[in-house]
Structure 1
Amino acid sequence: MSLFFVGAYTADMGGTADGIAALGSLPDGSLELLGTAAAADSPSFLAAHGDLVYAASEATGRIEAYRRAGGFALKRVATAESGGSAPCHVARYGDTVVAACYVDGRLGVLDAQPLALAQTVEGTAGTRSTGPHPAQDASHAHATFALDDTTILSADLGTDELHSHALAGGRLTRTGSLRLPAGTGPRDFLRHPSGLVLVLGELGLTLTALDDRLEVVATVDLAGGEPGDHAAALSTSADGRFVYAGLRGSNRISIIEVDGGVLRPAGWIDAEGDWPRHHLVDGDVMHVAHERSNTVATFRIGENGIPGLISAPIRVSSPIFLLKA
């Protein structure tokens, strides 16, 4: 049985979850709800490092660390300020933990042992213009990504920028920025098996491929995207031929074919729920977390790259993020 942890919204963010939930896989690849792994306040984004699980507590502005405690249980072992407001992404890079904070656009840099805030990197709104979309009212840091061992990228949804940072001595120094087309709203990163860095445009409904010099190789509109949609999460098929992105609003999974440096729309499927906030691919199975319908749907990916629903979605309270344990 495979184990998955679910980041979720609790009452402080308008959700109904109790904290981090645990799901287990069934023989057909679908999932069952095992219970609550740890009570927590809106642990919306999760990241694993060894036997630790880090959670971004979006409402409290804190980063929490949990340790596996047998079975599917998690025990909280540390908590620290994130350095900003509404942390929505957390990642550990070596001995450094970095939080991306949505509301004020800051990056919080934390020492991992002991967990403690060590540095705050300010957002850029005010020195550069924000984008044209109503959601781009200010700098909004949404994710970070390790380009290599010493280079950390961050996505600013509010200013349509990707920032480069040098990581040295557990601290970040901003070294440059790449401005994407106005209204892109960069949200998520994914390293494709080809080596390309893929960037999801939440607001522009685009997928952009970059090389390691951060030069744009290709950009494509997301298949199935409708006006008013918000894209969320990226995953790739096991062979790397297809990339998947969630479309909140039309409630679809967009499918993009990757052929070398060429990106091509390959269709879309019904996500089988309301507001597909996150998804992951595990072998030939895709799990999709639907925030508003309180469900997780599971699909089998065919040889043609098209996911097909395995069984009826299961009930999971306010699921925001899925992490394979």
Structure 2
Amino acid sequence: MTRFWVGGYGDDMDGDAEGIGFLSVDEGRGASTLTYRGTAAPVSSPSWLAQHPTLDVVYAALEGSAAVQAFGRSGEATLRPLGRPVDAGKYVCHLAVSPDGRMLIASCYGDGRVIRYGLGADGSIVPAAPDRAAALRAALFGESDAEDAGEPGAASDPYPTPTGEEPRASHAHAAVFLPDGRIATTDLGFDLVRIWRSAGTGLALDHEVVLPRGTGPRHMVMHPSGHLHVVTEYSCEVFTLASARDGSWALASATTASPIAQVGFDTPAELALSRDGHTLYTALRGSNTISALRVRGSGEAVEPLALADSGVDWPRHHLVHEGVLLVAGQRSGTISAIDLDERTGAPRDVRHTTSAPTPTVILPTR
């Protein structure tokens, strides 16, 4: 039996999850059976979960509460709070933990903030100091105290606002640690991938990669080749970024996420990579489909491979596990298991579904 933690939306985010849930996947007679086994830790809207690399500690983004919190394993199917919730930005929606387990990065959709927290030896979150939070706001939005904080002011919207239109807003959405220790974050509102480096106890902007206007970069996955794949929520595309010898990142290629994607109707969510690195999977909310893309060459490009029904409504998150794709359906309140072709990686039939309260993320337990 394989076990997973499940994050979801609670009543403060128009959902019915009562906290971090517990899911089991039982293998038998060549089929996987999913069972949602209840609440592992009561907490408000843990919409994203991240695992510590060495400790049995889980971090939750409490999206409706604008906070993050750590949880330690207290039993086979239970978690206990590891300290109180720590303030974050508005609608914090994603967390990433550094490979050395010493840093947590929170991306905040509501106000565009990217926040760095230290992590203690026990995995607990060290709250960001007030001056550190101010410095990060300055770095993101170019506020007047940026120079005093010792961090560069980041450019705002790289595209001029057309006459008669309201200015766009920054929406940080995800973070990935790069092989050299820097951090890449997406800004869905400004069509940017930002590259950060650690500076003291905070972050300093290194440079930015500007994507075409209106694409809406959302989530990312690091390919073993060193390329960074980015899925866009608005334009239904997958962009591949490559790093040059001087450490700068730039666009290498782009492709549609699905040949049947309808811009304005379909909105891609997660981007997941197969174990062998040959296949990417994205989910299209709207048509409720799973699109598989073949990774070409040494990872510098991808191309559509196959399309399948996700088995859920509004597939917000998915992951690959032992030849099966698990998909969290936010609106249907279900999680599905989809078979993957062993040879090509293409998604096939929905093997099984189980009910789960407004699921938004699935995380394997340690």
Indicate the residue corresponding to 1:117 in structure 2: 128
> How far did residue 136 of structure 1 move?
8.7
Indicate the residue corresponding to 1:32 in structure 2: 35
**Hey, which of these two has a bigger chunk of helix by percent?**
2
Stretches of 4+ aligned residues off by more than 6 angstroms? none
Call closer, same or farther: CA 1:176–1:155 in 2, change over 3 Å: same
Deviations 1:161-211 (A, max 9, x none): 111111144321111111111111111110123321111111111101112
Q: Tell me, in whole angstroms, the C-alpha distance in 2 between the residues paired with 1:314 and 1:75.
A: 25
1:96 aligns with 2:133: no
Call closer, same or farther: CA 1:83–1:33 in 2, change over 3 Å: closer
Indicate the SS of the match to 2:12. Answer: helix
Amino acid at match of 1:229: D
Indicate the SS of the match to 1:59. Answer: helix
Which structure's CA Rg is the greater one? 2
Indicate the residue corresponding to 2:219 in structure 1: 188
Deviations 1:130-167 (A, max 9, x none): 698x9993100001111135311111000001111111
Conservation of the 8 A alpha-carbon contact between 1:96 and 1:170: no
> How far did residue 297 of structure 1 move?
0.5
Q: Which moved more, 1:182-191 or 1:80-89?
A: 80-89
Indicate the residue corresponding to 1:151 in structure 2: 182
Q: Tell me, in whole angstroms, the C-alpha distance in 2 between the residues paired with 1:87 and 1:144.
A: 12
Indicate the residue corresponding to 1:127 in structure 2: 156
Indicate the SS of the match to 1:22. Answer: strand
Call closer, same or farther: CA 1:139–1:197 in 2, change over 3 Å: same
Conservation of the 8 A alpha-carbon contact between 1:278 and 1:288: yes
Q: Tell me, in whole angstroms, the C-alpha distance in 1 between the residues paired with 2:340 and 2:167.
A: 35
Indicate the residue corresponding to 2:146 in structure 1: none
> Among the aligned pairs, what percent are the same residue?
34
Indicate the residue corresponding to 2:359 in structure 1: 319
Indicate the residue corresponding to 2:251 in structure 1: 216
Specify every segment of 5 or more residues in structure 1 that has no aligned partner in the other structure, as ranges.
Answer: none
Amino acid at match of 2:312: G
> How far did residue 215 of structure 1 move?
2.1
Q: Tell me, in whole angstroms, the C-alpha distance in 1 between the residues paired with 2:166 and 2:177.
A: 26
Amino acid at match of 2:60: A
> Which of 46, 50, 54 in structure 1 is aligned with 2:49?
46
Amino acid at match of 1:315: S
> How far did residue 257 of structure 1 move?
0.9
**Hey, which of these two has a bigger chunk of strand by percent?**
1
Deviations 1:285-317 (A, max 9, x none): 110000000000001111222222353411001
Q: Tell me, in whole angstroms, the C-alpha distance in 2 between the residues paired with 1:129 and 1:162.
A: 12
> How far did residue 101 of structure 1 move?
0.5
Q: Tell me, in whole angstroms, the C-alpha distance in 1 between the residues paired with 2:167 and 2:303.
A: 28
Call closer, same or farther: CA 1:177–1:262 in 2, change over 3 Å: closer
Conservation of the 8 A alpha-carbon contact between 1:83 and 1:107: no
Specify every segment of 5 or more residues in structure 2 that has no aligned partner in the other structure, as ranges.
Answer: 143-154
**Equivalent residues in 2 for 1:1-325 (5 A)?**
1-27=1-27, 28-49=31-52, 50-93=55-98, 94-113=101-120, 115=125, 116-118=127-129, 119-120=132-133, 121-122=136-137, 123-124=140-141, 127-129=156-158, 137-213=168-244, 214-223=249-258, 224-227=260-263, 228-260=265-297, 261-302=300-341, 303-325=343-365
Q: Tell me, in whole angstroms, the C-alpha distance in 1 between the residues paired with 2:309 and 2:159.
A: 33
Conservation of the 8 A alpha-carbon contact between 1:202 and 1:232: yes
Conservation of the 8 A alpha-carbon contact between 1:105 and 1:139: yes
Tell me the TM-score normalized by structure 2: 0.84
Conservation of the 8 A alpha-carbon contact between 2:106 and 2:115: yes
Q: Tell me, in whole angstroms, the C-alpha distance in 2 between the residues paired with 1:274 and 1:83.
A: 29
Q: Tell me, in whole angstroms, the C-alpha distance in 2 between the residues paired with 1:135 and 1:188.
A: 25
Tell me the TM-score normalized by structure 1: 0.94
Indicate the SS of the match to 1:313. Answer: strand
